[in-house]
Amino acid sequence: MPLEDHPLRYWLANELHARPFPNISAPAQAIYVAIKQPKDAAKRDRGLDRAHLLALLDRFGADHPAPDATHYFGDLGKFRLKWEQHTEFVTYTAFLPSNGERPFDPASWEAFPEDWLARAPGVRITSAHIRVEIAPDDDRAIANRLNEWMVPESLAVSHVLDRTAVVAGDFRIDSNGHMRFAVFCRSDTGSRRIGRVVQRICEIETYKAMSMLGLPLSRSISGRMGEMDESLVQIVGDMTGDLARPDETLGRLLAIAAELEKLQTESAFRFGATGAYEALVNQRIEVLREERFLGRQTFGEFMMRRYDPAMRTIKATERRLLSMTERAIRAGDLLRTRVDVDRSAQNQALLESMDRRADLQLRLQKTVEGLSVVAISYYAVNLVVYLLGPLTEMLAISKTFLTAMAVLPVVLAVWWSIGAIRRSMDK
């Protein structure tokens, strides 16, 4: 078509098919490990993850993936390898064509060389050994094998995908350091469906482990939150009475609010990731379409009893942290309002005091003006007498009479002049 494609059109379309499900034919086994760098997702060096993958491919003479690839699937001779790069971790899955005579034989892990594993740029978040078999006709035979391979007390097992397979796992770490899962398939189950089941099991285990990382963080900050909650309650209680030093109380309250904001910032990514991983775990279990197997608990029931309480604890801590932050902000606003009201009252009292002092100064000024009229008039009368002194002989009047005649006009003139000056200054 004569239309210009969006630069990302093909990339967006191919992204939907970037992580295909493996094809697995029973009997088989899958060796799975998830590695997480001990850093935040933002600081993670993805180049180290790619270099680690290339080191494994070079050992088996396999081709390298594209430089920007986040997924790889290839045949390494003895096994097929699937590699996926996620936001916080990378996963390696080796698919072996035979499950061996010994169930969950640790020798199967020789697919991943020990020295190569030792140089992994991170730590193991989880690993799993998945055994795939053709299901016997009797479910009791499956139950007997599972009781031998796994811990019955925590065993979760169910029919999945319209009873085409039975999946089982006890979610415990065995003596070799791995989780154990078993898949029993009907003989007519397709390789794609078996691959989807195995992939779902790996995803459930990985996302479960990643979501549980929020639990220790939740517990670590809960103690400090309890201490701050007591201080916050005390401060709010004190606000109902008379505060001796409201500015100091406001400083304490702002310190608590700042620490709560810091805790919320530091835990936001982990708590948010926990919620996302939890949703993925529940979604992956839901798509299995579980049906009960011989009265045993299903994966969904296991998660409801063992996994959901941890998730609720994390969510409760997140809500409590958010609630305390909002309470501290509201208390700070109330206390600042109270401080502003107190300061306004102080300012009002100060203004009233200044008004009283200004009134006293005005009265004093008027008093001084009266004395000034007298003093100025005294000197002005003397000047008039000196000026009109020669007329006393011509008019045959005494100097005393002349002085008396000059006093009243001079005083009036001085009084009028000072008043005029004050009126001009007021304007």
Per the listing, tokens 């000072």 go with: 418
Q: What would the two tokens of residue 77 be?
A: 């001779």
pTM of the full predicted structure? 0.78
Cβ 241 vs Cβ 335: under 8 Å: no
Q: Are 287 and 200 in contact (CB under 8 A)?
A: yes
Torsion of CA 135, 139, 141, 142, to 10 degrees: 60
Query: What's the first-to-final CA gap in the chain, in angstroms?
Result: 85
Q: Other C-beta atoms within 10 Å of 269: how many?
A: 14
Dihedral angle sign, alpha carbons of residues 62, 63, 68, 71: negative
10 Å CB burial of residue 3 (0-12, 13-18, 19+) is exposed
pLDDT for 90: 96
Looking at residue 358, its pLDDT comes to 81
If one looks up domain 214-349 in CATH, what number appears?
1.20.58
- pLDDT score for 244: 56
C-beta of residue 123 within 8 angstroms of C-beta of residue 34: no
pLDDT at residue 86 in the model: 92
The arrangement of strands across the sheet holding 71-75 comes to: 71-75, 80-85, 89-96, 28-36, 123-134, 179-185, 165-173, 156-160, 291-292
Which regions of the chain are under pLDDT 50? none
Contact 196, 222 (CB under 8 A): no
For the chain, the domains span: 19-190, 214-349, 367-426
Residue 419 C-beta-side C-alpha neighbours within 13 Å: 6
> How high is the pLDDT of residue 254?
85
